[in-house]
Structure 1
């Protein structure tokens, strides 16, 4: 390793020294005769000869497997002089074979060596070889390109808008590029012999391109914003539609704050990759190409000096753009605040204000540290950028002075070039920023597409929708595990039946499996084993809308939505009339209370029904279930928050109409005693079942634990 490196360095120095000696000069002078264009062909031939010699040395010293960085450095070192001289000959038409600099002096050799090393070093820092991780990085890049192209495909409906936007963008950039050129012409016209017609022509041209730039820029911006708005609307609609179709375990694994962040922030960021970033990208590319042509026409020496600044600033900006960790911190802070504010009653009742404040402060502290780290990186990045910019500006001023003294530049040309150079640096910064931001937006798009592509684990609903439904429910050897507790069975081979026209009560201690049975009946979860049947058919065979039209659930803690009382009662129904809403409210014994309100059925219930008591919310939830006229009615402690009078008023309705299947989960003895069939569950199993009298007579678990289970 180290010995071979020393040998290689010595041989490179020897070859380069031979390149400068007198014999080499005679050899290269002989090569001039091979080309009618002077020594250009000879220079390329000698460069190729040097490259072959250096490359053979690297092959010998590296056992036939040289490192990629070494091969690149040798190629740049040997071919830089002919490339430079070829470019100089093309740009400076007055060049001849005698002033091509075919055989450089020692200073030029050192300069070539240093410049080649700096160029290769910049390349390796910006685009390093990953060794063993090369395959992984290549795969990541391919995935990023695929995601970016997928975002572009989603913009297909806006192709007309985007095409018009890019057209106006190109016209605006072309007009804007010529403004500094005409400004330099005005200065030259005023500084030389005054010619009125020339001045009017120059000012008129500058005004025309300025007006064209302003007009086309306005049209371009409006069209891009319109395209962005349309894309965001479509993506949010698609993502929300897919999220709302997911199964319940998905929402248990993903917090609402994180999903809302993906739905809002990530979709917006993904849209910028096509609309705003494409705008800046195309604008910067077109303008950079145009300015480069005009700058080369003014002075190729100043242009080359300016181009030295671009790779350095690009490298600095690329390294700076790789640091971005604020999104997770912001999502966590939003989630903590949403939880604490949304459950403020629970926080207040348990005196947990200080604890919630501490959690929120810890999240703020984490985000502060991330921002502090990023601020330090930003300060160092800004300092290095300023040092590079100032150093090159000083060098450019000295070169401008030299060119003006030699008569190769005018004052107006210098002014135009300075304006071009400033815009060139700005455009390059924007290009690097956009490339870095597009990588971030690809990351945001990946998160969005992950949710957009996710399919629910739950079985898809079928097409069964019979005109007449009996309402017979049956559990056949049903076993169930919650996704959060995959090793603990919630139900163990449960078999039971619910008959039409009968009221069945599920009773038992907490954790016995009652709520799990209810969750399976309304298809919040799927059984691990066995089947839940409705009229002999598995639940997933029925249409989703049909099933939840014929089956209604009233829980102990019903959820109401912000809006009117009527909106909450008719929630999910299409074409529900006010008369139907009132009839359901009367059956739930809440109509009289609603009539006492100032706005009646149009009264807003507040956030999550916060303007109503728990009993009133239960009454509205019962009305919401009854307005559907369900064939199966499931009541999970549906009257626990009501007073005695209200319970008696709705008891007859909850007992079910003729032919209706009613399932009650209750902890009140009066409700259970009226049930036609009682099922006692404990430990996820059916322990015993029968009527109240039969269970009391059997002296089993139901009888022994009656006092503990029920409150008289």
Structure 2
């Protein structure tokens, strides 16, 4: 051994290792002493078991006290080793005495008890001694999932009657189904013993009644649950769509169309499943499990305890499987959204695709997205296949053990053959039920993951507020841009408008001119409240735009864009878009003001002609005139014309809007010449302003750049 001086000169870590070796020696000597005592004395079984537990506790406390000064003592792996070393013995003995009493253990029994003890140990430390950071993140995710789950439950409030009715029928179906194996075993005992006609007929009648009651109740349960799911999906989709259309334009610029359509189509359905179908399965399985356990204990409590030994191992397998499967499911969901987005972009821009001969490249891009999704699904399927294989091997081992000990109990007269058949029927269902109970929680967390994305959109507040309440009875249409600084959400570091000021007077036409990208269309977007400027404000009759009620503001300000968007439907529907109870006379009057009435009457069905998707059945000039009619029918006080290409349409609008504020963005000199004031904009700032004649006489920027600013036609 080491002397005192030698021990004191050892480093701290080596000294602790020496103490650890001494403690292990002491621990082994205690175990040896206990084994020797057990072999040569005749102690009572309960006293012996109690002594093992006390010795294990003392050993654990002693070893932990020795290891406590070490920095590594707090690591989960050290604690796991310490607990396994100290308590595996008493756990083994407790399980053996509980399940088998004083029966001598065969090799199969030893293997079974050892496997169960190891499974219990794994489940214990995975639950109580997790790897710190990763497990904490997992617990946080589960807590968030529970919160989301309760939100989904509250969404089912209008369908509570359907859910309660479905739950009642579910309980009836389970109770009826539960007694069928019991009467099956009774029939076997009746046929195997002395035959009694009355007992046989009674058992048959009860089996028939229970079978019919189970089938009828199950059908009613399924119908009510499906009705509740359908009502929930319709309601959530409506709320989600309403929340989406209320978002600001910047939201749609940074959010892909595929993500939005995936939330509307796929995730809302998963939300419904998260509660209705999962609660259906959960309640049915829970009630059936409790009832089966009661009946199985009444048949053989020893076989029931043996069967329950499978549960810890099944729970551990299910926990590992859920972790990997949920992660891969989320990746598959995101990959499908990217695939839908790629297809949507190609279809919406099909003209560009064809003009650049990019059909093959788009097909390749879509194939790459599909392959990514396929690979993720393959990995997810592999995880599931391995899990099912291991789980079925565990099932097979448990069934072999059940038959082995069932045969012994029949030989000892502890149960009948019919009872064993009933028990095996229950056991085959109960194992599946326990796995379902464990699985269903993981599946709920997977489903509410989709709900989280839906709630993210439902809870999002638009960056552009629509809470204004002001509605002026006599709006004049005086618009003032005051020292605006603005950048788009997609390019926050690039200022489109810089200290920008502008005034639009009632009854006058203001023309914005300048080279492309100078900020002209941005002024139109800000005046429509599509965005919120970072600095400065826009006043309408002296009041900030955000103070006006949203619907009122957009009825007083109308816009016609460079490429107007029409919706599928008739010409009449597109002119009256957004208006209710609009008469045909007012629609025709607006069309006459826009110089569109004549060509509409020449169409096959006149005002009832379908314009096709996005107005594809009409020419660009025809779509523009219908868009002008759609603006004029509202009788707006402020009218914005963004890049209108038809000179004739501009003249018609000017003639029909004598008292309105008119702002025009155009590249035709003949249109600009009639403006009351011309604003020259470049790089987000006002360079010059005045009438055409004044600006030409100045011979400044407007005069020098007119060849670049205006079209020659």
Say whether the fold is shared (TM-score over 0.5).
yes
1:661-689: per-residue Cα shift (whole Å, max 9, x none)? 11000001111111111111111111101
Structure 2 unaligned blocks of 5 or more: 1-15
**1:569 Cα shift?**
1.0
Classify 1:127/1:556 alpha carbon distance in 2 versus 1 (closer, same or farther; 3 Å). farther
Counterpart contact for 2:512–2:520, Cα < 8 Å: yes
1:219-276: per-residue Cα shift (whole Å, max 9, x none)? 2222222222222223222222222111111111111210121122112112212111
**1:590 Cα shift?**
1.9
CA distance in 2, matches of 1:175, 1:480: 69
Q: Confirm whether residue 206 of structure 1 aligns to residue 221 of structure 2.
A: no
CA distance in 1, matches of 2:37, 2:107: 12
**1:110 Cα shift?**
9.6
Q: What's the secondary structure of 1:531's corresponding residue?
A: strand
For residue 367 of structure 2, the aligned residue among 336, 361, 372 is 361
CA distance in 2, matches of 1:629, 1:433: 61
**1:87 Cα shift?**
5.2
Q: Which residue of 2 aligns with 1:537?
A: 543
Counterpart contact for 1:130–1:137, Cα < 8 Å: no
Classify 1:106/1:181 alpha carbon distance in 2 versus 1 (closer, same or farther; 3 Å). closer
CA distance in 2, matches of 1:550, 1:590: 22
Q: Confirm whether residue 310 of structure 1 aligns to residue 311 of structure 2.
A: yes
Q: Which moved more, 1:196-205 or 1:416-425?
A: 416-425
Q: Which residue of 1 aligns with 2:302?
A: 301
**1:142 Cα shift?**
2.4
CA distance in 2, matches of 1:303, 1:675: 93
**1:70 Cα shift?**
4.9
Q: Which moved more, 1:183-192 or 1:147-156?
A: 147-156
CA distance in 1, matches of 2:26, 2:168: 56
**1:2 Cα shift?**
7.5
CA distance in 2, matches of 1:143, 1:657: 57
Q: Which residue of 2 aligns with 1:335?
A: 341
CA distance in 1, matches of 2:416, 2:283: 32
Counterpart contact for 1:165–1:220, Cα < 8 Å: yes
Q: Confirm whether residue 411 of structure 1 aligns to residue 417 of structure 2.
A: yes
Classify 1:136/1:371 alpha carbon distance in 2 versus 1 (closer, same or farther; 3 Å). closer
Q: What is the number of equivalent residue pairs in this alignment?
A: 686
Classify 1:506/1:375 alpha carbon distance in 2 versus 1 (closer, same or farther; 3 Å). same
**1:177 Cα shift?**
1.0
Q: Which moved more, 1:412-421 or 1:671-680?
A: 412-421
For residue 34 of structure 2, the aligned residue among 19, 22, 38 is 19
CA distance in 1, matches of 2:24, 2:679: 89
Q: Which moved more, 1:459-468 or 1:540-549?
A: 459-468
Q: Confirm whether residue 394 of structure 1 aligns to residue 397 of structure 2.
A: no
Classify 1:359/1:663 alpha carbon distance in 2 versus 1 (closer, same or farther; 3 Å). same
Counterpart contact for 2:556–2:638, Cα < 8 Å: yes
Classify 1:107/1:510 alpha carbon distance in 2 versus 1 (closer, same or farther; 3 Å). closer
Task: Give me the CA root mean square deviation.
Answer: 2.8
Counterpart contact for 2:80–2:129, Cα < 8 Å: no
**1:549 Cα shift?**
0.4
Q: Confirm whether residue 149 of structure 1 aligns to residue 150 of structure 2.
A: yes
CA distance in 2, matches of 1:75, 1:155: 50
**1:203 Cα shift?**
0.9
Counterpart contact for 2:257–2:344, Cα < 8 Å: no
**1:215 Cα shift?**
1.9
Q: 1:46-445 maps to which residues of 2 (within 5 A)?
A: 46-63=51-68, 68-70=79-81, 73=84, 77=88, 80=91, 84=95, 115-125=116-126, 129-133=130-134, 135-322=136-323, 323=325, 324=329, 325-445=331-451
CA distance in 1, matches of 2:543, 2:105: 91
Q: Confirm whether residue 662 of structure 1 aligns to residue 677 of structure 2.
A: no
Q: 1:426-575 maps to which residues of 2 (within 5 A)?
A: 426-575=432-581
* TM-score normalised over the length of structure 2: 0.90
CA distance in 1, matches of 2:558, 2:174: 62
Counterpart contact for 1:73–1:116, Cα < 8 Å: no
